[in-house]
C-alpha cells in the first residue's frame, strides 16, 4: 500500500525544498551570498524542476500512495508555473522589495510555486487544498511585502480577507464532496460518482456550487473578482505578474481537475454554473477595463476577462475544450508576462510608470519595448496571427463544437470590446506625444525584465507557428485528465 | 511571393537607423519588386482557361485548428494580386520620392500591409483568410495613427472598432462554417475549395452567409456600414487613404466573390435583394454626398463608396457577365481611385487643406496636369470608352438581366458621377486662376509622373484591350456563381457550366465518426 | 450505537459558516475579521468530521487536522499584516483601507 | 475597303495624339497641317470608298471588319469592329467633308488664340469620335462613340476655360449628355437581356422575330434609345444645353453643334429603323417630339440677340424636322435634310464666325448692322445660307425640308397635322433667319462705326465659298418627282423603311405654301428690321410678358434648376450635413455610450471597501448556488 515513489514528486520537492534553502541563504553573514545566493538558488531550483518535469514526461506515475500524481497534465502545468516563477525571479533583480528582503522574497515565490504544482499534481482533496492554501498564503505575504508602502499593505490585507473567505467556501465545498462520496481520493470519488449516479444529489450540488465559488475566486472570475484590481494595483508588479499568470493557471488547473477530471459524469450539474461565471467575467472584465487609466488595473480587468475565455473551454466539458484551455494558458502566460515586463520597467524609469500616460510616445525612447508591448496587447486582443488569436480561436471553436455557439459569440463580442482598451495602450505608445518635462530616471539595469519581455513576446508569436506540436502536447495532457 | 515584402519589412526594421535612409529604401524597393516579379512569373505561367486554383502551395501549420498554409491563385485572385503588387510598388516609389517623416517605419508598414493583402487574396483556407484579414488592419491602423492629421485618434478608433466588429462576426461565421460543414459531411476542414462542395441546408447557409456578408459590408463599406469611412479617409495620410480605397476595399468584395457566394449559394440567394438594395442605396447616397463635399479627398472617398456599390451589384447578380465585369471593375476602381488620390495630392500642393474652393483655373499654369486629371476624371465617371465604363457596363448588363430595377436605379449613380467629378475638375482647373498656395506647384513634375504614368497607362491599356483581363476570369467566375445561379432557380440554359465542376460533396467520414448521413441531411440545423 | 444523525453535524456547521460570514460582513477590525474567517474554516472542519463519521473512515478527520494547521498559518500571516499595518501607524479599520478603488 | 475605312477612322486619332504629345506648342504651320490634313485625306478616302461601293450592287455594300476581339465576357463577345455600309459612308462623307472645310476655316479663325494646338487636337479627337460613332459595328462601340463625342463637345464648349459661363455651359452639356448615355446603355442592357448580343447584324436580323411588333420590350428599347437621341440631338425636353453650348469657339459650333454631332440622333434612328418599325408608339412619340421642338425652338429664335444663339435655336428647330421625319419613318428624307442642313448651317456659322472674327469677338446683333458694305464673302455666305435655311427654292433647304413635309402628308391625319406644324415652322424659320440677316448685314452701320475690321484671308474664304456652292445647289441631287439619288444610295441600308412616295398634289401644296409664305415672311422681316432699328425699338415693349417667357426659353432652364439641380443640392447637403453625422453615427455613439455607462457603474461598485467585496462575493455565491440547483432540477 505504501507506494512512496518519491521520484514522481521530485519537481515539487525540489521547489519546496529550495524555498527553505533560499530563506536560510538570506541569513548567511556573507554579503555576496546574501545578495545573489537566494535568487541564484531559486533560479537553479526552478530550472531543475523543469528538467525533472521533462524527464518525468510520460504516462501517469503516482507518488505518496497516489496523493501526488505526475502525468502529462500536471507536468505540462508545471511548466506554466515554473516559467512564471522564473520570470518573477528575473523581474526581481534589483527589485526594491527583493533587495530588502533577500531571503524571503524568492523563498515565498518558490513556496507559492510549490503550492501551484501541488494543485496541478494533487491526487486527493487534501493535497489540493494544501496546494491552494500554500500558494495563497505565500502570495498574501508577497503582496504586502513592501510594508513601507501603504498600498502594498492594503493590497495584502484585502487579498487575505477575501481570499480567506474564498478558501473557506472552497474547503466547505470539498467537505461536501467528501460527504457526497465518502472519499478524498480523486480516483475513488470519480468511481463513486460514475457508479452510483449521484447526479442531483444535494450534497453534490452544494459541493459543486461551493467549489465553483472558491475556485472562481482564485481564478478571479466575476462576480468573485472584486479583489483583483485593487490587489493587482497594490502588489509589487512582479508579484502581480505572478498572480495573474501562476495563480490563474493553478485555479484553472483545479477547475479542470475537479470538473473534467472527476466530475465529467455530472456535467449537467456544473456546466451552467461555469458558463455563468464565464459570461459574467467576460462582460464585467471587458467593460470595466474600458475606463481604466492605470495599466495594472487595466491588466487586472483584462485578466478577469481572460479568465472568462479560459472558463469557456472548461464549460464545454470536452477534451477539445480542455486542450484549448491549456493552449490558451501558455499563450496567456506569454502575453501577460510581456505586458507586465514593460510595465515593470516603466515603473522603474518614471515615478508614475503604471499610469497609461507614462507610455505616451514610448516608442521613441524605447522602440524594442514598444514592440513588445504592442505584440502583447495585440495578442491579448486576439489579433491574428498571434497566439492569443489561435487560443481564442480554439476556445470558441470548442464551444461551437459543444453546441455552445452562443457562448462563443459572447466571447467574441467581448474580445471586440476589449480591442478598444488594448489598442488604446498601443495607440498611446505609438501615437501619443512624449512629454518633454517627464522625469526619466533609471533604477539600475532592467536586463532581467527586458529579457523576459522580449522572450515572452517572441513566444507569443512562436506559439502560433508551433501550434501543431504544442496542441499535440496539450491534447495528451487533456486526455490524461480522464485516464483512470 | 507573399512573403517577399514581409521579409523586406523585417529587414527594414532591422536596419539600424545610423546607416541612413538609402539602404532602407533599397530594401523596400527590392521587396516590392520581388513580389511584382514573382507575380509576373505567375501571370506568365497562368492557364487562362482554368477554373482551378493554380500555383498552389500547401504547408501544414496547425492542423487541429484547421489552419494551414494553403495559397493559390485563380482567375479572379490573380488580378487582385497584380493590382496589389503594382499599387504598393507605386506607393513605395511615391513614398521614396516624397518622403514623410520617419520614412523607414512607413515603408515597413507599407510592406506589411502588402503582405497581408497578398495573403488575403491568395488564401485558400478560411482561417488563413481570416488571419490575413485581421493582419491587414494593423499596418493601416498604424499608418493612420502615426502619420494621420489631428483628427486621427477619433478616426483610428472608429476604423478599428468598426472593422473589428466585422471581423468578429466573420470569425464566428468562419468557425461556424467548419463545424456545420462537419455535421453535414463528416469532414472537418477550413479549405475554401472543399467547403464549396458542402451542401448546407438553407438556414445554415443563410446564417453563415449573413455573418460573412456583414463583415464584408463593413469593410467595403456598404451603406449604412460606412460610419468609419469619412473619418478614416479624412484623417489618414493621402497615400494611405488611396490604398484604403484602392486595395483594402477590394478585400471585401473579393471575399464576397471568393467565399460568400460560392460557399453559401442558398444564403447568398436569400440575401440578394437586401444586398442589392443596400448597394443601390450606397451608389445613390455616395454619389449625392460626394457631390456636396468640400474637400477633394472626401469627394473621392465618397465616390468610392458609390463605385463599390456597383461591384457588389455585379457580384450579387450571380451572372457571368456581371461577375466578370465586377472583377474587371475591381481592378479598374483600384487604378482609378489611386490615380485620383495621386492627383489630389498634386493639386493640394497649391490648395488649402485639399479644399475644392481654394483653387480654380489651374489649367492655365498646369496644362499637363489638366490633361492627366481630365483623363482620370473621365475614367472615374466612366465615360463610354474609358476602362471604368467597360466594367460598369458589363456589371450592369449582368445585373440588368435579372434585376432590372437595381441596374436601372444604379444608373442614377452614373449621372451623379458626372456631376461630382466635373465639379472637382472644373472647380479646380477651370475658371479664373486662383490658388491659396503657389499655383504652379500644381503642375505635374517628373517625380509625380513616375508613379502616375503606370496608372494612366494601365487605364488606357484596359480601355483598349479589356479582354486581356476578362478572358482569364471566365472559368473562375462560372465556377463561383454557378451554385448560386442554381440556388436562385434560374432557367437551366442560363446556368453557367463550370469548366471544372465543383467536387461532389465529400462523404468520407472520419474514422470512428460515421454519422448517419441521411439523418444528418434531413435534420434541422443544430 | 446511538449516533448523532449526519443532519445535525451539517446543520451546526452550516450555522457556524453563516455566522462567520456575518462576522466578515459586519466587523471592521481586521483582527475580528480574521476570527470570523477562522469560524468559517472550522465550520468546514465540523462538516468534515461529521462526514468522516458518517462514512466510517478517518480520512475526514485527517483532513480536518490539516485544515487546522493551514488555518493557523493563515492567521499568522494575517496577524503579521495587522502588525505591519499597526507599525505604519494606520488605523485598524478595513473601511479606511480603500485607497485603491475604481 | 476596310483598310481604307480604318485609315479614315485612325487618322484623326493619330493626329490628336501627335498634336498632344510635344510638351511645348509646336510651330503653327505644323499644327495647321496636322489638323486639316487627316480629315482632308479622310474625305478623299471616303470618296474612294463611295466610288467603289457605287460600282457594286446594293447587297454587297456592307462590310464588317474587326480589329481584335475586344472582350469576350460571359458568352457575350464584343469586337472592336466597324461596319461600313451605305449609311456609314454617307455619314463619313458628311463628317469628313464638312469637317475639313470647318477645320480649314478654324486655322485662321483661331489664329489669335494662344492654345492653338489644344484646339485642333480636340477637334481631331471629336472627328475621330464621331467617325467611331457612325462606323461602329455594334451597339457597344456606338455607345463608346456616343460618349466620346459628348466628351469632345464638353471639352470644346469649355475651351475658354477661364470664362465661367463657358465652364457652366460645358458642364450642363456634359451632364445632359450623360443622361442620354444612360438611356443608351439601358437600351443596350435590354438588348443583351433579350437577344444576348450587341452586334448590329444579329440584332437587326433577330429583332423582328424575337422582340416582336409593338411589344413592351420593343417599345422600351426604342424609348430608351430615344432618351439618347433627345439628349444628343437637343430635342425637347433635353435641348437646353445646345444654346448654351455656343460658348465654344464658332468653328466648334459649326462642326459639332450644327453639322455633325447633334445629328447623331437622326443617324441613330435611321440605323435602328428595324427597332423603331417594331415600336410604333415610340416612333410616333419621336415624331411629336420633333414637331414640338421645331416649333418652339423657332419661336425662341425670334427673340435672340446673339447671332450664334439665333443659329443655335435654328439648329434645334431644324433637327426637329429631321427627327420628326425619322419618327414618321421617312428615313430617306430625314437623311437628305441632314446633309442639306450640314451644308447650310455650317455655312451660316462660318459666315457668322467670319463676322465675329472681323468684329473681334462681338456676337450681339445689336452691335452689328450694315456689314454688307464691309464684308463681302461672309455676307454672301450668310445670305445663301439664310435662303437655304428658310427653304426658299431653289436653295438646298427647300428640297429637303419640303420632302419631309410632303411625304408626311401621305401618312394620314397624324402626318398631316405634323406637316402643318412643320409648314408653320418653316415660315417662322424664314422670318427669324432673315431677321438675323437684316439686322447684321443691312441697314445703317452700328453706332460709332466699325473702325478696323480683321480681314478674312483665303483660309476663311475658301470654306465659305465651297459651302455656299453646296448650300445653294446641293438640293438638286434629289428633286421631287424627278430623281432621288440619296434615296437610291441609301436604299440597301434601309432595312425596314416604309415606302412612302409623295404625290404631285402634296408636292405642289407644300412647295407653294412654303415658298409663298416664306417669301412673305422674308418681306415682313425686311419691313421690320431691314431699315434700321427704329421699328424694332418702337415695338420693343409689345406684349412684354410673352416676350419675356419666350426670351427665357419658356422658363425651362429655371424649372430644371429648381426641380433637379437645386433639390438635388439640397438633398446632398441634407445627407452630407445631417444624415451622415446624425443617423449613421448616432447609433454608434449610443452603443459606445451604453458601454461607457456600464463601465462607470462597475467602477462605482469597485468602492475599495473589502466588506462590499465580500458582499458581492456572497451574492455571487448565491447566484451560483441558484444556478446549480436550477440546473440540477432541470
Q: How far apart are CA B445 and CA B422, in angstroms?
A: 24
SS3 assignment, position B57: strand
What range does the domain containing C75 cover?
6-92
Q: Does residue B224 have a cis bond before it (omega within 30 degrees)?
A: yes
Q: Over chain C (102 residues), what is each successive 10-residue block's mean pLDDT?
A: 75 91 86 89 91 86 91 89 81 73 67
Task: Give the neighbours of chain A: at least 3 Cβ pairs within 8 Å.
Answer: B, C, D
Q: What is chain A's mean pLDDT, rounded?
A: 86
Number of domains, chain C = 1
Tell me, yes or no, if A336 comes closer than 8 A to chain B by beta carbon: no
pLDDT band at A304, cuts 50/70/90?
A: very high
Rounded mean pLDDT of A226-250? 90
Q: How far is the alpha carbon of C12 from chain A, nearest alpha carbon, in Å?
A: 13
Question: Quick one: what percent of chain D has pLDDT higher than 70?
Answer: 93
- The helix or strand, by DSSP H or E, that contains position D79, with its residue range, turns out to be strand D76-84
Which of B62, B131, B526 is facing A468, going by the closest CB pair?
A: B62
Question: Quick one: what percent of chain B has pLDDT higher than 90?
Answer: 0
Contacts of D576 in chain B (CB under 8 A): 288-289, 292-293
Put simply, the answer to whether A400 touches B179 (Cβ < 8 Å) is: yes
What pTM did the predictor assign? 0.82
**Is C77 part of any domain?**
yes
Q: Which of D244, D245, D331 is nearest to D286 (CA)?
A: D331
pLDDT band at B91, cuts 50/70/90?
A: confident
Instruction: Tell me which of A335 and D526 has the higher pLDDT.
Output: A335
Q: Hey, where are the domains in chain D?
A: 2-551, 558-633
Cα-Cα-Cα-Cα dihedral of B226, B227, B233, B235, to 10°? -170
Rounded mean pLDDT of B188-204? 77
Per-residue pLDDT tens over the stretch B439-477: 777 777 788 888 888 888 888 888 888 888 887 777 787
Contacts of D620 in chain C (CB under 8 A): none
Q: How far apart are CA A258 and CA A273, in angstroms?
A: 14
Q: Supply the pLDDT for residue B124.
A: 81
Closest B-chain CA to A364? B102
The backbone region for B432, taken as left when phi is positive above 0, alpha when psi lies in -120 to 50, beta otherwise, is beta
Instruction: Mark which residues 147-206 of A lie under 8 Å from D by CB.
Output: 157-158, 161-162, 165-166, 169, 199-200, 205-206
Tell me, yes or no, if D604 comes closer than 8 A to chain A by beta carbon: no
Per-residue pLDDT tens over the stretch B210-262: 888 888 888 888 777 777 887 788 888 888 888 888 888 888 888 888 888 88
Put simply, the answer to whether B152 touches A431 (Cβ < 8 Å) is: yes
Q: Supply the pLDDT for residue B440.
A: 74
Put simply, the answer to whether B393 touches D70 (Cβ < 8 Å) is: no
**Is A12 part of any domain?**
yes
Put simply, the answer to whether A169 touches D621 (Cβ < 8 Å) is: yes
Put simply, the answer to whether A431 touches B153 (Cβ < 8 Å) is: yes
Instruction: Tell me which of A459 and D26 has the higher pLDDT.
Output: A459
Q: Which of B383, B418, B287, B299 is nearest to B348 (CA)?
A: B299
Q: Is it the case that residue A269 has pLDDT exceeding 60? A: yes
Per-residue pLDDT tens over the stretch B417-445: 888 888 888 888 887 877 777 777 777 77
pLDDT band at A128, cuts 50/70/90?
A: very high
Closest D-chain CA to A166? D617
Q: What angle (nearest 5°) sits at the alpha carbon of residue D552, between those of residues D550 and D553?
A: 65
Beta carbon pairs, A and D, within 8 Å:
97
Q: How far apart are CA A239 and CA A95, in angstroms?
A: 11
Q: Supply the pLDDT for residue B506.
A: 44
Instruction: Tell me which of B60 and B123 has the higher pLDDT.
Output: B123
Q: Supply the pLDDT for residue D365.
A: 76
**Is A1 part of any domain?**
no
Q: How far apart are CA D178 and CA D175, in angstroms?
A: 5
Q: How far is the alpha carbon of D238 from chain B, nearest alpha carbon, in Å?
A: 14
Q: Supply the pLDDT for residue A325.
A: 92
Per-residue pLDDT tens over the stretch A359-396: 888 877 888 888 899 999 989 988 877 888 888 888 88
Q: Supply the pLDDT for residue A98.
A: 61
C-alpha torsion sign, points C42, C43, C48, C51: positive
Tell me, yes or no, if D590 comes closer than 8 A to chain C by beta carbon: no
Which of D599, D613, D633 is facing A226, going by the closest CB pair?
A: D613
Contacts of A270 in chain D (CB under 8 A): 628, 631
Contacts of B49 in chain D (CB under 8 A): none
Per-residue pLDDT tens over the stretch B127-148: 888 888 888 888 888 888 888 8
Q: What is chain B's mean pLDDT, rounded?
A: 78
Put simply, the answer to whether D576 touches B292 (Cβ < 8 Å) is: yes
Q: Which of D391, D381, D402 is nearest to D470 (CA)?
A: D381
Residue ranges, chain D, pLDDT below 70: 1, 448, 454-456, 480-481, 496-497, 532-536, 539-540, 542, 578-588, 633-634
Query: For the purposes of burial, counting CB atoms within 10 Å of the CB of D532, is it exposed (0-12), middle (13-18) or buried (19 or more)?
Result: middle
Task: Give the neighbours of chain C: at least 3 Cβ pairs within 8 Å.
Answer: A, D
- The helix or strand, by DSSP H or E, that contains position B73, with its residue range, turns out to be strand B67-73
CATH code for position C18: 1.10.287.3510
Q: How far is the alpha carbon of A430 from chain B, nearest alpha carbon, in Å?
A: 7
Amino acid at each position: 500500500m505504501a507506494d512512496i515513489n518519491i521520484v514522481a514528486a521530485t519537481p515539487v520537492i525540489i521547489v519546496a525544498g529550495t524555498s527553505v534553502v533560499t530563506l536560510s541563504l538570506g541569513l548567511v553573514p556573507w554579503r555576496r551570498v546574501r545578495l545573489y545566493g537566494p535568487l541564484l538558488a531559486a533560479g537553479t531550483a526552478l530550472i531543475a524542476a523543469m528538467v525533472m518535469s521533462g524527464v518525468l514526461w510520460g504516462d501517469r506515475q503516482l507518488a505518496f500512495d497516489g496523493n501526488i500524481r505526475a502525468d502529462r497534465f500536471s507536468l505540462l502545468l508545471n511548466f506554466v508555473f515554473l516559467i512564471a516563477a522564473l520570470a518573477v525571479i528575473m523581474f526581481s533583480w534589483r527589485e526594491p522589495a527583493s533587495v530588502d528582503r533577500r531571503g524571503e522574497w524568492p523563498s515565498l515565490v518558490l513556496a507559492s510555486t510549490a503550492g501551484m504544482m501541488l494543485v496541478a499534481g494533487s491526487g486527493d482533496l487534501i493535497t489540493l487544498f494544501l496546494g491552494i492554501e500554500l500558494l495563497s498564503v505565500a502570495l498574501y505575504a508577497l503582496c504586502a511585502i513592501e510594508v513601507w508602502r501603504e498600498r502594498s499593505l492594503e493590497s495584502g490585507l484585502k487579498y487575505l480577507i477575501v481570499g480567506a473567505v474564498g478558501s473557506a467556501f472552497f474547503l466547505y465545498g470539498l467537505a461536501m464532496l467528501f460527504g457526497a462520496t465518502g472519499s478524498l481520493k480523486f480516483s475513488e470519488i470519480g468511481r463513486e460518482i460514475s457508479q452510483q449516479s449521484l447526479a442531483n444529489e444535494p450534497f453534490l450540488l452544494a459541493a459543486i456550487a461551493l467549489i465553483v465559488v472558491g475556485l472562481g475566486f482564485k481564478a478571479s472570475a466575476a462576480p468573485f473578482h472584486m479583489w483583483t484590481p485593487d490587489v493587482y494595483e497594490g502588489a509589487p508588479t512582479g508579484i502581480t505578474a505572478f498572480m495573474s499568470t501562476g495563480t490563474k493557471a493553478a485555479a484553472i488547473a483545479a477547475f479542470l481537475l475537479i470538473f473534467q477530471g472527476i466530475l465529467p459524469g455530472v456535467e449537467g450539474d456544473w456546466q451552467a454554473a461555469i458558463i455563468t461565471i464565464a459570461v459574467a467575467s467576460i462582460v464585467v472584465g471587458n467593460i470595466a477595463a474600458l475606463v481604466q487609466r492605470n495599466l495594472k488595473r487595466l491588466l487586472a480587468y483584462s485578466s478577469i476577462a481572460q479568465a472568462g475565455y479560459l472558463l469557456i473551454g472548461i464549460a464545454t466539458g470536452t477534451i477539445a475544450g480542455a486542450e484549448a484551455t491549456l493552449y490558451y494558458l501558455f499563450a496567456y502566460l506569454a502575453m501577460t508576462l510581456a505586458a507586465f515586463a514593460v510595465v515593470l520597467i516603466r515603473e522603474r524609469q518614471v515615478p508614475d510608470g503604471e499610469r497609461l500616460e507614462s507610455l505616451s510616445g514610448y516608442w521613441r525612447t524605447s522602440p524594442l519595448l514598444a514592440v513588445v508591448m504592442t505584440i502583447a496587447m495585440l495578442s491579448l486582443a486576439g489579433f491574428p496571427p498571434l497566439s492569443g488569436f489561435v487560443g481564442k480561436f480554439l476556445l470558441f471553436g470548442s464551444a461551437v463544437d459543444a453546441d455552445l455557439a452562443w457562448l462563443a459569440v459572447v466571447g467574441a463580442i467581448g474580445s471586440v470590446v476589449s480591442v478598444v482598451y488594448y489598442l488604446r495602450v498601443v495607440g498611446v505608445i505609438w501615437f501619443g506625444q512624449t512629454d518633454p518635462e517627464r522625469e526619466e530616471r533609471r533604477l539600475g539595469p532592467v536586463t532581467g525584465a527586458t529579457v523576459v519581455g522580449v522572450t515572452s513576446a517572441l513566444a507569443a508569436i512562436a506559439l502560433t507557428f508551433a501550434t501543431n506540436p504544442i496542441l499535440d502536447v496539450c491534447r495528451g495532457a487533456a486526455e490524461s485528465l480522464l485516464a483512470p | 511571393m507573399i512573403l517577399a515584402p514581409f521579409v523586406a519589412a523585417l529587414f527594414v526594421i532591422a536596419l539600424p537607423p545610423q546607416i541612413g535612409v538609402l539602404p532602407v529604401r533599397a530594401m523596400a524597393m527590392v521587396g516590392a519588386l520581388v513580389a511584382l516579379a514573382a507575380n509576373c512569373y505567375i501571370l506568365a505561367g497562368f492557364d487562362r482557361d482554368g477554373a482551378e486554383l493554380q500555383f498552389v502551395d500547401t504547408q501544414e501549420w496547425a492542423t487541429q485548428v484547421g489552419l494551414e498554409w494553403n495559397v493559390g491563385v485563380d482567375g479572379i485572385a490573380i488580378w487582385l494580386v497584380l493590382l496589389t503588387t503594382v499599387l504598393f510598388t507605386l506607393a513605395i516609389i511615391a513614398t521614396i520620392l516624397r518622403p514623410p517623416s520617419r520614412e523607414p517605419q512607413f515603408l515597413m508598414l507599407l510592406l506589411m500591409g502588402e503582405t497581408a493583402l497578398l495573403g488575403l487574396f491568395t488564401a485558400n483556407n478560411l482561417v488563413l483568410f481570416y488571419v490575413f484579414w485581421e493582419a491587414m488592419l494593423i499596418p493601416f491602423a498604424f499608418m493612420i495613427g502615426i502619420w494621420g492629421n489631428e483628427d486621427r485618434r477619433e478616426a483610428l478608433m472608429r476604423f478599428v472598432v468598426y472593422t473589428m466588429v466585422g471581423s468578429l462576426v466573420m470569425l464566428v461565421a468562419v468557425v461556424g462554417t467548419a463545424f456545420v460543414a462537419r455535421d453535414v459531411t463528416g469532414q472537418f476542414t477550413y479549405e475554401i475549395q472543399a467547403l464549396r462542395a458542402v451542401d448546407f441546408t438553407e438556414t445554415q447557409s443563410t446564417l453563415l452567409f449573413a455573418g460573412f456578408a456583414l463583415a464584408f459590408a463593413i469593410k467595403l463599406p456598404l451603406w449604412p456600414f460606412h460610419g468609419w469611412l469619412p473619418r478614416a479617409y479624412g484623417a489618414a495620410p493621402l497615400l494611405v487613404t488611396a490604398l484604403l480605397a484602392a486595395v483594402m476595399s477590394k478585400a471585401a468584395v473579393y471575399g464576397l466573390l471568393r467565399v460568400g457566394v460560392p460557399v453559401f449559394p442558398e444564403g447568398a440567394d436569400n440575401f440578394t435583394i437586401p444586398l442589392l438594395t443596400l448597394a443601390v442605396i450606397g451608389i445613390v447616397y455616395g454619389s449625392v454626398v460626394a457631390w456636396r463635399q468640400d474637400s477633394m479627398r472626401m469627394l473621392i472617398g465618397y465616390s468610392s463608396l458609390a463605385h463599390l456599390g456597383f461591384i457588389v451589384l455585379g457580384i450579387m447578380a450571380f451572372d457571368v457577365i456581371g461577375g466578370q465585369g465586377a472583377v474587371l471593375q475591381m481592378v479598374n476602381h483600384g487604378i482609378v481611385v489611386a490615380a485620383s488620390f495621386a492627383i489630389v495630392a498634386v493639386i493640394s500642393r497649391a490648395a488649402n487643406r485639399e479644399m475644392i474652393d481654394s483653387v480654380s483655373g489651374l489649367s492655365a499654369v498646369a496644362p499637363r496636369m489638366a490633361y492627366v486629371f481630365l483623363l482620370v476624371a473621365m475614367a472615374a465617371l466612366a465615360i463610354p470608352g474609358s476602362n471604368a465604363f467597360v466594367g460598369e457596363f458589363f456589371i450592369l448588363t449582368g445585373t440588368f438581366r435579372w434585376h432590372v430595377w437595381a441596374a436601372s436605379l444604379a444608373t442614377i449613380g452614373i449621372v451623379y458621377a458626372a456631376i461630382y467629378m466635373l465639379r472637382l475638375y472644373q472647380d479646380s482647373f477651370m475658371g479664373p486662376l486662383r490658388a491659396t498656395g503657389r499655383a504652379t506647384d500644381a503642375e505635374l513634375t517628373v517625380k509625380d509622373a513616375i508613379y502616375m504614368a503606370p496608372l494612366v497607362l494601365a487605364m488606357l491599356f484596359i480601355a483598349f484591350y479589356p479582354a486581356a483581363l476578362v478572358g482569364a476570369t471566365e472559368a473562375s467566375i462560372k465556377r463561383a456563381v454557378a451554385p448560386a445561379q442554381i440556388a436562385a432557380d434560374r432557367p437551366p440554359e442560363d446556368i453557367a457550366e463550370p469548366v471544372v465542376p465543383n467536387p461532389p460533396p465529400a462523404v468520407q467520414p472520419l474514422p470512428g465518426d460515421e454519422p448517419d448521413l441521411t439523418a444528418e441531411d434531413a435534420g434541422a440545423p443544430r | 450505537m446511538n449516533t448523532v444523525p449526519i443532519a445535525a453535524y451539517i446543520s451546526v456547521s452550516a450555522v457556524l459558516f453563516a455566522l462567520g460570514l456575518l462576522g466578515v460582513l459586519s466587523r471592521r477590525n481586521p483582527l475580528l475579521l480574521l476570527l470570523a474567517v477562522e469560524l468559517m474554516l472550522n465550520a468546514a472542519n465540523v462538516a468534515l468530521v461529521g462526514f468522516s463519521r458518517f462514512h466510517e473512515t478517518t480520512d475526514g478527520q485527517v483532513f480536518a487536522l490539516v485544515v487546522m494547521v493551514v488555518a493557523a498559518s493563515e492567521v499568522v500571516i494575517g496577524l503579521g499584516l495587522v502588525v505591519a499595518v499597526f507599525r505604519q501607524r494606520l488605523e485598524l479599520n478595513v473601511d479606511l483601507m480603500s485607497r485603491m478603488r475604481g | 475597303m476596310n483598310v481604307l475605312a480604318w485609315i479614315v477612322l485612325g487618322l484623326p486619332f493619330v493626329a490628336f495624339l501627335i498634336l498632344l504629345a510635344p510638351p511645348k506648342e509646336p510651330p503653327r504651320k505644323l499644327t495647321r497641317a496636322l489638323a486639316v490634313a487627316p480629315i482632308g485625306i479622310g474625305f478623299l478616302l471616303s470618296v474612294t470608298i463611295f466610288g467603289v461601293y457605287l460600282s457594286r450592287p446594293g447587297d454587297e455594300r456592307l462590310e464588317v471588319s474587326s480589329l481584335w476581339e475586344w472582350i469576350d465576357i460571359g458568352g457575350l463577345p464584343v469586337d472592336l469592329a466597324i461596319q461600313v455600309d451605305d449609311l456609314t459612308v454617307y455619314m463619313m462623307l458628311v463628317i469628313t467633308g464638312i469637317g475639313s472645310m470647318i477645320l480649314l476655316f478654324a486655322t485662321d479663325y483661331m489664329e489669335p488664340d494662344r492654345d492653338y494646338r489644344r484646339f485642333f487636337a480636340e477637334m481631331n479627337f471629336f472627328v475621330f469620335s464621331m467617325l467611331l460613332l457612325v462606323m461602329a459595328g455594334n451597339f457597344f462601340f456606338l455607345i463608346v462613340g456616343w460618349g466620346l463625342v459628348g466628351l469632345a463637345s464638353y471639352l470644346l464648349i469649355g475651351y475658354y476655360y477661364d470664362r465661367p459661363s463657358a465652364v457652366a455651359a460645358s458642364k450642363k452639356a456634359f451632364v445632359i449628355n450623360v443622361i442620354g448615355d444612360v438611356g443608351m446603355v439601358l437600351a443596350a442592357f435590354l438588348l443583351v437581356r433579350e437577344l444576348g448580343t450587341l452586334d448590329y447584324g444579329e440584332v437587326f436580323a433577330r429583332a423582328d422575330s424575337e422582340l416582336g411588333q409593338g411589344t413592351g420590350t420593343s417599345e422600351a428599347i426604342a424609348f430608351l434609345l430615344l432618351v439618347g437621341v433627345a439628349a444628343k440631338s437637343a430635342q425637347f425636353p433635353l435641348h437646353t444645353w445646345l444654346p448654351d453650348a455656343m460658348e465654344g469657339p464658332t468653328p466648334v459650333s459649326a462642326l459639332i453643334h450644327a453639322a455633325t454631332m447633334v445629328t447623331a440622333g437622326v443617324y441613330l434612328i435611321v440605323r435602328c429603323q428595324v427597332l423603331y418599325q417594331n415600336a410604333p408608339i415610340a416612333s410616333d412619340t419621336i415624331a411629336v417630339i420633333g414637331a414640338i421642338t421645331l416649333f418652339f425652338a423657332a419661336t425662341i429664335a425670334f427673340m435672340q440677340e446673339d447671332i450664334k444663339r439665333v443659329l443655335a435655336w435654328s439648329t434645334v428647330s431644324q433637327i426637329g424636322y429631321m427627327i420628326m421625319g425619322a419618327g414618321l419613318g421617312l428615313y430617306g428624307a430625314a437623311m437628305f435634310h441632314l446633309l442639306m442642313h450640314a451644308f447650310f448651317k455650317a455655312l451660316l456659322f462660318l459666315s457668322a464666325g467670319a463676322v465675329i472674327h472681323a468684329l473681334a469677338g462681338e456676337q450681339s446683333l445689336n452691335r452689328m448692322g450694315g456689314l454688307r458694305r464691309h464684308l463681302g464673302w461672309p455676307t454672301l455666305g450668310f445670305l445663301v445660307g439664310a435662303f437655304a435655311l428658310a427653304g426658299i427654292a431653289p436653295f438646298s433647304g427647300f428640297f429637303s425640308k419640303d420632302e419631309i413635309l410632303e411625304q408626311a402628308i401621305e401618312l394620314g391625319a397624324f402626318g398631316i397635322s405634323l406637316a402643318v406644324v412643320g409648314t408653320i415652322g418653316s415660315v417662322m424659320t424664314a422670318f427669324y433667319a432673315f431677321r438675323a440677316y437684316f439686322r447684321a448685314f443691312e441697314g445703317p452701320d452700328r453706332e460709332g462705326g466699325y473702325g478696323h475690321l480683321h480681314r478674312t484671308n483665303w483660309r476663311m474664304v475658301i470654306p465659305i465659298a465651297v459651302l455656299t456652292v453646296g448650300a445653294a445647289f446641293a438640293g438638286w441631287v434629289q428633286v421631287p418627282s424627278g430623281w432621288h439619288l440619296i434615296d437610291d444610295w441609301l436604299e440597301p441600308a434601309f432595312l425596314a423603311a416604309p415606302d412612302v412616295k409623295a404625290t404631285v398634289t402634296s408636292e405642289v401644296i407644300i412647295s407653294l405654301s412654303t415658298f409663298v409664305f416664306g417669301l412673305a415672311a422674308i418681306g415682313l422681316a425686311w419691313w421690320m428690321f431691314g431699315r434700321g432699328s427704329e421699328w424694332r425699338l418702337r415695338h420693343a415693349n409689345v406684349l412684354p410678358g410673352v416676350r419675356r417667357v419666350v426670351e427665357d426659353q419658356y422658363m425651362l432652364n429655371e424649372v430644371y434648376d429648381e426641380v433637379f439641380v437645386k433639390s438635388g443640392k439640397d438633398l446632398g447637403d441634407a445627407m452630407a450635413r445631417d444624415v451622415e453625422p446624425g443617423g449613421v453615427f448616432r447609433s454608434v455613439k449610443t452603443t459606445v455610450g451604453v458601454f461607457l455607462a456600464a463601465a462607470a457603474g462597475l467602477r462605482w461598485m469597485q468602492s475599495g471597501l473589502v466588506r462590499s467585496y465580500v458582499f458581492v462575493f456572497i451574492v455571487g455565491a448565491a447566484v451560483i448556488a441558484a444556478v446549480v440547483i436550477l440546473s440540477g432540477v432541470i
